[in-house]
């Protein structure tokens, strides 16, 4: 963030956050996270992926002071 502020490039964090958000949307659309057809390990791994991505997006949005919903 110091580098972004020093060179006046506020679009960089937004570009960074757009990519995982876009990939998660595609993943969530194509892979059923809570499907009964999935093994317990697959469900656990997919939930972990969704959780880690959500936390990354939440923290990234909080840097410029943007609040995110707790639940969608």
Lowest mean pLDDT of 22-26, 27-31, 42-46, 64-68, name the range: 64-68
pLDDT in tens, 7-39: 767 777 888 899 999 999 999 999 999 999 999
**In this structure, is residue 22 part of a structural domain?**
yes
55 located within any domain = yes
| Residue 72 forms part of a structural domain | no
Checking if the pLDDT of 62 tops 70, the result is: yes
Domain that holds residue 53: 7-62
Q: How far apart are CA 38 and CA 44, in angstroms?
A: 10
How many domains in the chain? 1
Is the pLDDT score of 5 beyond 70?
Answer: no
Domain assignment of residue 1, yes or no = no
Asked whether residue 71 is assigned to any structural domain, the reply reads no
pTM of the model: 0.78
Does residue 39 lie in a domain region?
yes
């Amino acid at each position: 963030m110091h580098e972004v502020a020093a060179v006046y490039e506020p679009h960089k964090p937004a570009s960074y956050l757009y990519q995982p958000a876009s990939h998660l949307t595609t993943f969530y659309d194509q892979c059923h996270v809570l499907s009964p057809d999935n093994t317990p390990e697959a469900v656990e791994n997919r939930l972990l992926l969704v959780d880690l991505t959500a936390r990354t997006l939440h923290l990234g949005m909080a840097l410029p002071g943007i609040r995110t919903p707790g639940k969608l």
